[in-house]
Amino acid sequence: MSHSPSIPDRPRLQLDPDMSNEERLEAMLAHHDNLLDIGSQLDRELKRAVERGAELRSEVDRLTRENESLKTSALYVATIEEVWPETHEGLLRQHGNNQEILTDLSATQSQELDPGDRVAVNDSFTVQEVLDTETDARAQAMAIDRSPDVTYDDIGGIDEQILEVREAVEAPLQRPEQFEAVGVKPPAGVLLYGDPGTGKTLLAKAVANHTDATFIKMAGSELVRKFIGEGSRLVRDLFQLARDEQPAIIFIDEIDAIAAKRTESKTSGDAEVQRTMMQLLSEMDGFDARGEISIIGATNRFDMLDRAILRPGRFDRLIEVPRPDQAGREVILEIHTRSMRLADDVNLQELAESTPGYTGADLASLATEAGMVAIRDGRTAVTRSDFTSAKARIEEDNDSGPITSDGWADYAY
Ligand code: ATP
């Protein structure tokens, strides 16, 4: 530890009034020398202080960086098994690998933590955060919509798929006794597959709305990426939540993230994904006890799926949601321009012809972007040329994006 350098006292000149002039001159010269001496001493101190200041500044920079990296590094979830307040120690069980770890706790933590509490720990197993109900993974990983406002009228170009989903999900939720009377088991789970932005989420929400079911959405990728070691617990929670909220539709988006084909690699991440998938399969296999709950999975990567999830009693109804054809694109454009003021020169049929390969999501952004062009120009109606500008902008953004290469670039509207 360094101390502040001591500053020499200011020298004082005491002149005796009885002194002769020579004595006075001599005393003043001595005082002058003294002052020069102290001046150079202070210069040296100042130099040292400046050097020390620079040293401390670089130390502060280093600590700030360290602090930042500590704050951003991944945390792991663990459950407190035992706490010994006298010795400020705790026994944790890390989720995922189930290792038990004895760790030091702060005085406050050892008073406040109880067995069963869930905590986030860093690489050295220091408790960084206590997970309360607010930060509970359940709340973060699942989005609950008690009454989604999407209707079938909001979906265009996939009428056949709407029918199939209604038959597989809506009918068993609304008329379970009919299935029982006929003696057929309704499909356990419906898997929607197709390119991003083709309306899979929309479709699941519309069914939930139509059946008055609670819509519970979980993203497969979040399950495995955000909460290391929490995947299988979250799947259990997801089904419990659905049981509490039934009738309910569980929508698992990006299901490929938890149900990809097994690979050769044996990293702990893979093991974690496997456990999450096994939990999902076992929840689905307990179908009879599931009550009024439907499960809809969605993926853009059907090719990657582990076939185990497609067995009967699991995702046994596969529905492909394609990109819309021309007629479909026209309906989707009608839907997304429904509340817009269009100028007379806008021709949606022509626009649909000039947008092959566009998904529903692309068409929705085309309409919004055209509206934005009109607003930027201070107009209240959207014109044909607004759509042309919007299309150019979207195609520029999408250059290597989701629109397929089946030729939109060759079309000019
Ligand atoms: P992802 O695979 O990326 O999750 P998705 O297939 O689930 O995509 P949605 O989230 O349903 O796609 O669609 C995104 C948005 O695009 C919707 O909110 C809607 O505005 C628009 N959209 C997509 N498909 C259609 C459609 N068939 N009819 C009308 N609008 C659509």
End-to-end CA distance of the chain: 74
Helix, strand, coil content of the chain in percent (nearest 5): 50, 15, 35
Pocket test for ligand 1, best of 151, 198, 253, 299 (most atoms within 8 A of CB): 198
Backbone phi, psi, residue 248, to 5°:
-145, 150
| Amino acid present at 412 | A
CATH of 326-411, one of 1.10.287.70, 1.10.8.420, 1.10.8.60, 1.10.1740.10: 1.10.8.60
Q: Is the CB of 335 under 6 A from ligand 1?
A: yes
**359 C-alpha to ligand 1 centroid (Å):** 8
Provide the pLDDT for residue 369. Answer: 92
pLDDT in tens, 216-233: 888 887 776 666 667 777
Splitting the chain (413 residues) into consecutive groups of 10 residues, what average pLDDT does each group show?
65 84 90 92 92 92 80 76 91 82 90 87 86 56 76 92 90 82 84 93 90 85 68 80 83 84 57 78 70 86 85 88 94 94 91 92 93 90 92 76 41 35
pLDDT in tens, 287-335: 664 558 889 999 998 888 888 888 888 888 899 999 999 999 999 999 9
Provide the pLDDT for residue 262. Answer: 64
Q: Is the CB of 217 under 6 A from ligand 1?
A: no
**382 C-alpha to ligand 1 centroid (Å):** 23
Provide the pLDDT for residue 17. Answer: 85
Ligand 1 atom at minimum distance from 205 CA: 11
Nearest CA to ligand 1 atom 9: 199
- Given a contact cutoff of 8 angstroms between Cβ atoms, the answer to whether 342 and 301 are in contact is no
pLDDT in tens, 69-123: 666 666 788 889 899 989 999 999 887 677 889 999 988 898 889 888 888 888 8
**What 3-state class would DSSP assign to 377?**
coil
If one counts every other C-beta atom within 10 angstroms of the C-beta of residue 65, the result is: 10
CA distance 108 to 312: 52
In sequence order, what are the residues at sequence separation of 6 or more whose Cβ sits closer than 8 angstroms to the Cβ of residue 396?
A: none
Provide the pLDDT for residue 333. Answer: 95
Provide the pLDDT for residue 404. Answer: 43
Instruction: Answer yes or no: CATH 2.40.50.140 is held by domain 76-130.
Output: yes
Return the CATH number of the domain spanning residue range 139-320.
3.40.50.300
If one counts every other C-beta atom within 10 angstroms of the C-beta of residue 149, the result is: 9
Ligand 1 atom at minimum distance from 253 CA: 4
pTM for this prediction: 0.65
Nearest CA to ligand 1 atom 30: 360
If one counts every other C-beta atom within 10 angstroms of the C-beta of residue 13, the result is: 12
Ordered strands of the 89-94 beta sheet: 100-104, 89-94, 76-84, 118-121, 127-130
Nearest CA to ligand 1 atom 22: 360
**306 C-alpha to ligand 1 centroid (Å):** 25
Ligand 1 atom at minimum distance from 156 CA: 28
Provide the pLDDT for residue 55. Answer: 92
**Which structure tokens are listed for 287?**
């179908």
Provide the pLDDT for residue 64. Answer: 87
Q: Is the CB of 172 under 6 A from ligand 1?
A: no
Backbone phi, psi, residue 154, to 5°:
-90, 0
